[in-house]
Amino acid sequence: MRRDRLFRMSLDPAQVVEQRGLRYQRHINDAIEFGDSDIQMFYKDTTVFVTGGSGFIGKQLIEKLFRACDIAKVYLLMRPKKGKTVEERLKVILEDPVFDSLRSKKPKFAERIVPVTGDVADLKLGLSDNDWNLLMQEVNVIFHVAATTRFDECLRVTTLINVRGTREALTLAQACKNLRSFVHVSSAYANANSKNLDKEVMEQFYPSPVPPDVLIGLVENVDEERIKEFEDTFIKGYPNTYTFAKAVAEEEVKRWAERVPVCIVRPAIVISSYKEPSPGWADMSCAHGASGLVLGPGTGLVHVLYIQDDIRWSFVPVDYVNNGLIAAGYETGTNPPGDVKIYSLSSARNLCSYKLVNTGVKTAGVNEPTPVAVWYMYAINTSNKLLFWLLTWLYHYIPGYLLDGVCVLLRRKPMFIKLFKKIYKMSLALSYFTTRSWIFDDRNADKLYKSLSPVDQVIFDFDTTQIDFEEYVSYWCMGLRKYIIKDGINSTEYAIKKQFWLHKLHLIVSLLYVYGIAKLLMFALSGLLYVFNLVFV
């Protein structure tokens, strides 16, 4: 006990937070060791095919499958990218810290991952005839995770990936000789449209905004520029092409119910891990979603957020999502086909308020700030679009132009205005979700969890009602430091002192800035009065 206390005293404050989160590992690892739970036996010696395995959810899904289950093989759909073959890309993916724990337990796990060249946006998933036939003979379980999550993606690309890609994956599933289950990853927000405002979004099929075959035929046969002309009208009622396409894709899944043992899993806002494979794990893609609302102020770069203060969010840690996916695959594989179950993985009965997140981020900013922060960490929140635009100019654009001017003088590449414009664009894209609260029915997911054996409830925990969000936010902030900012979660004492002096500097600069703006406005007003006198007096 004394040794543990001395060990913690020698750690950086951020490392203490990490160690606190690691305490969950022992119980999970002990339960995994037996290897004979219902879910583990279902997946034992199975061959799994994963689309989207290079993404945030996909990577941790593969890691958990190998760490918790004795699966035979994972086929991973990948496309060559940036001059790299799928084998080269897989090698890079496997270097992600998400696999560190697995690597220490099962050093040869990578030998059982086989990349297959293809593209979810292409017909037959872009697979060669040989690869198609190979998968058809060997695959037992399919996790269809692949999707474009860009809210501003054009309708044509979103449809090809999210709708036609789903159809092609289901076509492969039907052809598989020994398929046991197909898990389609949708989104809790697929039906969070204008028709369902202020209503509970149920775990059921909703009318599709357009038949899937009609939408697919449209993007296959109509010129992209023509589609763009009526895109806004076409997706009316939906905030973006992503949620629109996800809603249509669910209709496509419904059509295959009698032919494929399939289920739909709808995660809400997926964020850093809670427990596995380590607390707070995230990858770089997280910077463009909800985690960006923490990263921006946490690095001293972002000072204005488009958020409603009393908002309540349905956050789900990525490890809970994947535990739910694996459990849903097991449930689907042990039930007769025909009835498509929909599981909403949300925190509907344990919503996380923005005030709690904001308090947690501020606490982390005081106690465990990052030493690489470029300015004093603070943020102003507003849900008024006009005020957000005005504050963006005052706190981002004007300082950005000044900083870019300094960059030019120092013969360095200007970067701040480009960055702030991206942040502004992303904020507008997220505003539909950051200014509204949604309630997602999760009775099917709750029933599934309660039906699991006690040991499976430990290994594959996705009971969001038990998440302590106050505790979780500290892991989230620490994880963003470790895995995205990559500051080594050390030098926190230095960072605290740095924030103290940056606060002083911030106050001085703010006074000078306000003074300068006031003088500029007075000068402009004087000029207007002078012109007025010349013209009218």
Quick one: tokens of 101? 């724990």
Dihedral Cα 195, 197, 200, 205, nearest 10 deg: 30
Is 444:334 a contact under the CB 8 Å cutoff?
no
Backbone φ and ψ for 345, nearest 5 degrees, come out as -95, 90
Q: What pLDDT is stored for residue 9 in this prediction? A: 56
Q: Are 327 and 452 in contact (CB under 8 A)?
A: yes
Q: What is the pLDDT of residue 6?
A: 44
Label each residue of 482-522 as H, E or C.
HHHHCCCCCCHHHHHHHHHHHHHHHHHHHHHHHHHHHHHHH
The structure's pTM equals: 0.92
User: Which of these, 444, 472, 26, 385, lies nearest to 264 by C-alpha position?
Assistant: 444
- The residue to which tokens 């918790």 are assigned: 68
Q: For residues 118 and 125, is the Cβ–Cβ distance under 8 A? A: yes
- Return the closest-CA partner of residue 161 out of 176, 142, 144: 144
The CB density around residue 222, as the number of other CB atoms within 10 Å, is: 12
Three-class secondary structure of residue 293 per DSSP: helix
Q: What distance in Å separates the CA atoms of residue 446 and residue 241, rounded to the nearest whole number?
A: 30
For 397-439, where are the alpha helices, taking DSSP H only? 398-409, 416-434
pLDDT of residue 5: 54
Q: Which residues make beta-bridge pairs with 315?
A: 269
Give the CA diameter of the chain: 93
Cα–Cα distance measured from residue 467 to residue 461, given in angstroms and rounded to the nearest whole number: 10
pLDDT per residue, tens digit, the chain (537 aa), is: 455 554 455 789 889 988 998 888 888 999 999 888 999 999 999 999 999 999 999 999 999 999 999 999 999 999 998 889 999 999 999 999 999 999 999 999 999 999 999 999 999 999 999 999 999 999 999 999 999 988 888 999 999 999 999 999 999 999 999 999 999 999 999 998 878 777 889 999 999 999 999 999 999 998 888 888 888 888 888 989 999 999 999 999 999 988 999 999 999 999 999 999 999 999 998 888 888 888 888 999 999 999 988 888 889 999 999 999 999 999 999 887 778 999 999 988 888 888 888 888 888 888 889 999 999 999 999 999 999 999 999 999 999 998 899 899 888 898 899 989 988 988 888 888 888 888 899 999 999 999 999 999 999 999 999 999 889 999 999 999 999 999 999 999 999 999 999 999 999 999 998 888 888 888 878 877 777 677 765
User: Which residue's structure tokens are 């992209």?
Assistant: 224
530 SS3 class: helix
Give the list of residues 6+ apart from residue 480 with CB closer than 8 angstroms, or none. Answer: 272, 280, 282, 286, 291, 294, 295, 298
What residues contact 81, with CB distance under 8 A and at least 6 apart? 89
Beta bridge partners of 316: 270
Cα–Cα distance between 301 and 295 in angstroms, integer? 9
Pair of tokens at residue 165: 């890609």
Q: Are strands 73-78 and 47-51 parallel, antiparallel or unpaired?
A: parallel
From residue 265, alpha-carbon distances to 11, 78, 204, 321, 445 in Å are: 40, 22, 11, 9, 9
Quote the CA–CA distance of 168 and 260 in Å, as a whole number: 13
Q: Which residues are within 8 A (CB) of 141 and not within 5 positions of it... i.e. 6 or more apart?
A: 43, 46, 47, 48, 49, 179, 180, 181, 182, 183, 329, 333
By the 8 A CB rule, do 117 and 86 touch?
Answer: yes
- Cβ neighbours around 30 below 10 Å, total: 12
Domains of the chain, start order: 1-34+280-311+352-436+469-537 (no CATH), 46-268+314-351+438-459 (3.40.50.720)
Q: How many residues does the chain have?
A: 537
C-alpha pair distances (Å), 516 with each of 1, 231, 304: 58, 44, 20
